[in-house]
Each structure stands twice: as structure tokens, then as C-alpha cells.
Structure 1
Amino acid sequence: MQTNESQLNAIADSIKTAATDILAEPAATSSGMDYIELLSRFGINMVAIFILVRLIYYPTHKNKDFLFSFFIFNFIIFLLLSTTKLKPGFAFGLLAIFSIMRYRTVTVPIKEMGYFFIALALGMINALSLVDEGWLVMIGSNVIILAITLILDRFITLTHENVKEITYERIDLIHPSRREEMIADIVQRTGLPIHRVEVKTVNFLRDTAYLHVFYYAKENENRQGMTGDDD
């Protein structure tokens, strides 16, 4: 109950902050930004978000579920900030609400939340950057963000220690002195590069042991149950 109450309070605070930003200043008039400048900014933003989503995110993660949300979230933030005098806090308030709700039906992975933040940042930069300082500053900011994202996500990859849960029937190998034999047997049967094993529980009535096996891989895999039965 405390967790739900804290989440509701956080959502209420975010909505209050967003409402304050909306009412802080009147809407911008047509003189604030001409149509040519708006279209130019929108074109730069569209190219940037397309590169981020279609050329950086999708080729690596192959997840179509978030493509629509990335594009729409970016476009909404861009249009809200460029056509009205909303403060940047409004955009972060929307992100805070979104991150707390986490779609409520689907848990958004951490990396996808990072991409949502990048999509938000691109929309803010392209909507609020001062043209007086030059278009190159805005374009350069987009290029730097996209380049850093590409390098971190594509080229700087660290291995993850993954774990699988196994029901193992050869309890004669669970003795600590035979741990290397057990690891070799599991490696041969699973094909996984296992480097350590934890014996969680042992059932002598059924001659089975419940194990956690650990191995390194490029992807952060979910835990999946495996069985040692040959049936």
C-alpha cells in the first residue's frame, strides 16, 4: 500500500509541476517562431529521431514494440515546446509520469527508458535552441548525442553474467570436491560457458538438486528454467 501511495503522490507532484509550467506563460504567438523556422526545426528533429530509432536502436535490438512510442513521444515534445511557451520542466514532468506508470501493462526495460530520455532530449534541443547562436550549434548537439548513443550501444558492449535455474539429477556431483566435474557435465549438456554454480536446495528423496548456473554472454538474458531430465 505504501508503494502505491508513494507512486500516486509522485504522479500527482509531476502533474502539478507540469500544470504550473503550462500556466506559467501564455501561449506563443505566430511572431514567436515563423513557419519556415518551425519547419526547419521539425525537419532536423525528424532526421535526428529517425537516425536514433531506425538506424541505431532497431538494428541492434530488433524490437518493434517501442518504435511507435519513440517517434510519437519525440514529436509531441517537439510540437508542445516549439508552438507554445512551455518550460523544459513540462517535458521532464511528462517523462516522470511515464516512467512511474511504465505503461502499467508492460514493464519498460532500462535501456528503452534511456532511449525515451534521448528522444525527449532531441525534441527539447530542436524546439528550444536559440537560432541566434547559429543552426550549427543545434545540429552539432544532435550529432554529438547520436554519436555517443551509437558508440555506447553498438561498440562499447560489456558481457553480462546471466543465470539459469536448473533441476539437476546427478546429486553425486554436488559435493564441493567434485564441483569441477559437475560444471564440466553441465557445460557438456547445455553448451553454455558456465563458470560457477550455486547449489540452492537438495532433494534426496527424488535424487535431484536445484542449481543456479552462471555464465557470461553479450545479452542480458532472462532467467529460464531448465531441467536435467533426459525424458
Structure 2
Amino acid sequence: MLQFLSIEPDQIDLLTKLALRFAFNLASTFIIVVLLYARISKRKEFYFSYFAISIAVFLLVFLLESVKVELGFALGLFAIFGIIRYRTDAIPPKEMTYLFIIIAVSVINALSKDYFSYIELTFVNLLLVGALWALEKILMMRQENSMLVVYEKIENLHSDRENELIADLEERTGVKVKRYQIENIDFLRDTARITLFFENNGRSKREIN
């Protein structure tokens, strides 16, 4: 049967490693994307992209590494993804960072099959996940987001009514304003364009009238 399928005995070991490493990489990706990124950022629109890229990069690196492409090819992947621009909306810096991490984890899990045991590989993945969790939760290094608002109550722009302005903006937008910047004031229309800055809670940069 093995001869009919053109599978050599040593290839069985390679297929076993592929299956185990693939499951291991998929589990690491799930922890990073679902349990860490999505729960904190409250965003799910990148699920497909993260998982698809993780699977594609892992299989690409794993299979091509077996024909001795090795590290040069892996580094080339980072260069390719570094210059790619999606034709849709621009990806925020934090999402691009997680994309880079997903690629890095997939490359590590694929290329280390001849160098790291599963215990060492588990430690490396846990170290990476722990560092991300520390940056997100302990150090509170959250990405600051912004929102452009067209505001009509220009009487609240007076310096003596800053508290009323912030309270009104927070009630209307539903975000906790950390700071704001008045871009311009149109006295003919009694409106002002104000940029609000707040902690990233999954809301993208947009304009509110």
C-alpha cells in the first residue's frame, strides 16, 4: 500500500511531524487570535485573515524547508508581507503587529522541527503569548484610537465649558475621551470639526456628524 502511494518509510515520519506541528501551530494561533487579541480588542473582522495566513505560511515554510530553502526564504516572507498593501481599508498598526506575530509563530513552528523538541517549542510559544498578555493587560499598552466629529454646539468650545463639552461628546459617541483636538470652526454653519482620542476598544477611526 505504501509503495502504491509512493510513500517511503522515512516520509511517514515527516507526515507525522507535519500533522503534529500543524495542530500545534493552529492551537497557538487560536490562543493569540481568539483568546488574546479578540477578547481585548473586541474585533473579529480579522479572524479569517489571521487563520488563513497562519495556515498558508506554516505549510509553505514547512514543506519548502524540507527541500532546503530554510531561513532565507522565511526572512523573505517578512519582506513580502512588509510591502503588501491590501486594496481594502488600511489595517491599523496594532492589527499589523498581530499579523507579523502570526507569521513569526508560523515560521518558528514550521522551521524548528529539526532543532527544538516539543517541550522547547511549547516554552517558546508560551513565552510569546505571555509577553503579549503582559503588554496588553499588565502594562496597559493599548493602542490609542481617534474619531473625527462634526460638532454643532460651538458654545461648548469655550475654555470655561470644557467639562460640558467632554460630557456631551462622551454621551453622543459612547467612548471615554482621553483628549481632544479642535481642527477647525465654521461660524457660518455653527459647527466645528473635533478629533477625539480614546483607548482602542474595537471602534475604528470614522467621522460622526
Q: TM-score over 0.5 for the alignment?
A: yes
2:14 to 14, 21, 38: 38
2:29 to 48, 53, 57: 53
Instruction: Give TM-score scaled by structure 1 length.
Output: 0.70
The equivalent residue for 2:51 is 67
Deviation at 1:152, TM superposition (A): 3.6
- Alignment pair present for 1:88 and 2:88: no
1:139 to 118, 138, 141: 118
The equivalent residue for 1:149 is 128
Query: 1:171-210 maps to which residues of 2 (within 5 A)?
Result: 171-210=154-193
The equivalent residue for 2:101 is 114
User: Is contact 1:166-1:226 (8 Å) kept?
Assistant: yes
The equivalent residue for 2:3 is none
> Where in structure 2 are there 5+ consecutive unaligned residues?
1-6, 39-43
CA RMSD across the alignment: 2.6
1:224 to 185, 194, 206: 206
Indicate how the Cα distance of structure 1 residues 85 and 77 shifts in structure 2: closer, same or farther if over 3 A, else same: same
Aligned to 1:151, what secondary structure does the other structure show?
A: helix
Identity over aligned residues, as a percent? 23
Counterpart CA distance in 2 for 1:169 and 1:199 is: 13
Deviation at 1:186, TM superposition (A): 1.5
> Based on CA coordinates, which of the two structures has the bigger radius of gyration?
1
Instruction: Give TM-score scaled by structure 2 length.
Output: 0.76
Deviation at 1:88, TM superposition (A): 1.3
> Where in structure 1 are there 5+ consecutive unaligned residues?
1-29, 130-136
Deviations 1:52-111 (A, max 9, x none): 2234323443412332221121011011112x1223112212332232234x53556231
Deviation at 1:215, TM superposition (A): 2.0
